[in-house]
Amino acid sequence: MNKPVIIIKTGGQAAENIQALSHMAQEIKELSSQYNFIFVHGGGSTVSAIQREYGIEPVFKEGIRITSEKEMDLVDMGLAGKMNKKLVRLFIKNGVSAAGISGADGLTFEGESIADKSCRTGRIIKTNTKLIDTLLSGGFTPILSSVSSDTEGCALNINADEAALATGTACKAEKIIFVSDIPGILNDGKQYSNLNEVQINTLIDQKIINGGMIPKVRSSLEALKKGAGSVVIGDYREFMDLEKLLSGEKGTKIWLN
């Protein structure tokens, strides 16, 4: 019997916290007899630092990095290179058989630009899990960077949240966990334990859910409609937090109804 698939996506400060990531890797090792894990990562601060070294100021729109052709090489360098290999080495050090790939490998993600060809920020139009399935069947934990290719073989920068949700949908994941810098979705400091589609739309209208959280929750709802089991947004601070996120003790769980 195939093990349930769990998608873990990290970004922001969570993707840079070596101690927390080490504890998470140890938990993944311990839970690997029960689940197949796929680890999807961002690394925006790493990319932004590289951009600034080259005299380029990062540009964002509604939480999404807008990437020019000139910047795309730097995004590849930061995400598929530096950040991905850093995480692979960390996971292996903590006993996880990790393998680093990007959305371009095995054409895991095929995408299109969100604007014209000069814009290298893209959206996913097709997901192929053959390489991921091969790694999982071989006992490896894929460490997945979201940089991808378009239909002409040119590089695309795909938002890591979208990559995690597309992977979770294609793999029919039991759970997609967004490890964030915040403990969950908050309203005046109070955390919601569960939110459904109607509640989410109301909170967006009230501007309680705003900025980069809007595409995250809307894409989460789409993933649920397409077959993902559940989505959780929460933080990881210490050992055993992954188990709490899986069990519902931590974070905000997204439901359809």
| pLDDT in single tens digits along all 257 residues of the chain | 489 999 999 977 777 889 999 999 999 999 999 999 999 998 888 899 999 999 999 998 877 889 999 999 999 999 999 999 999 999 999 999 999 999 999 999 999 999 988 999 999 999 999 999 999 999 999 999 999 999 999 999 999 989 999 999 999 999 999 998 889 999 998 999 999 999 999 999 999 998 878 878 888 898 898 888 899 999 999 999 999 999 989 999 998 87
According to DSSP, residue 82 is labeled I
Topology of domain 5-254, CATH: Carbamate kinase (3.40.1160)
According to DSSP, residue 77 is labeled I
Residue 65 near residue 57, CB atoms below 8 Å: no
Crossing angle of helices 213-225 and 160-170, in 10° steps, is 10
Residue 24 near residue 8, CB atoms below 8 Å: yes
CA distance linking residue 47 with residue 252, whole number of Å: 28
Q: What would the two tokens of residue 201 be?
A: 């739309």
CA distance linking residue 146 with residue 52, whole number of Å: 21
Q: What would the two tokens of residue 200 be?
A: 């989410």
The pTM of the full predicted model, rounded to 2 decimals, is 0.93
Q: What would the two tokens of residue 68 be?
A: 């020019």
